[in-house]
């Protein structure tokens, strides 16, 4: 790669990484919320564990 284009390449890579992280967190939060809402456990702490467990399996 030409040295004059290294900064642009670095910026694109960094931007893609940040977008990927943001999408990953959004998807995991959605799965965790759905898993918590659909839990059949009556104790809210156990329902949260169900939701987070489902999110980590994605």
13-56 confidence digits (pLDDT tens): 999 999 999 999 999 999 999 999 999 988 889 999 999 999 99
The residue with tokens 């659909």 is 38
Contact between 9 and 1 (Cβ < 8 Å): yes
Q: Against a cut of 0.85, is the pTM above it?
A: no
CA dihedral for 12, 13, 19, 23, sign (positive or negative):
positive
Contacts for 17-21: CB closer than 8 Å, 24+ residues apart = none
For residue 5, the model assigns a pLDDT of: 83
Q: Please state, in angstroms and rounded to a whole number, the distance separating the CA atoms of residues 49 and 39.
A: 9
Considering only residues 4 and 1, tell me which one the structure prediction assigns the higher pLDDT. Answer: 4
């Amino acid at each position: 790669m030409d040295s004059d284009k290294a900064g642009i390449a670095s910026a694109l890579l960094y931007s893609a990484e940040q977008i990927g992280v943001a999408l990953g967190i959004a998807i995991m939060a959605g799965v965790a919320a759905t898993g918590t809402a659909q839990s059949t456990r009556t104790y809210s702490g156990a329902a949260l564990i169900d939701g987070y467990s489902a999110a980590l399996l994605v």
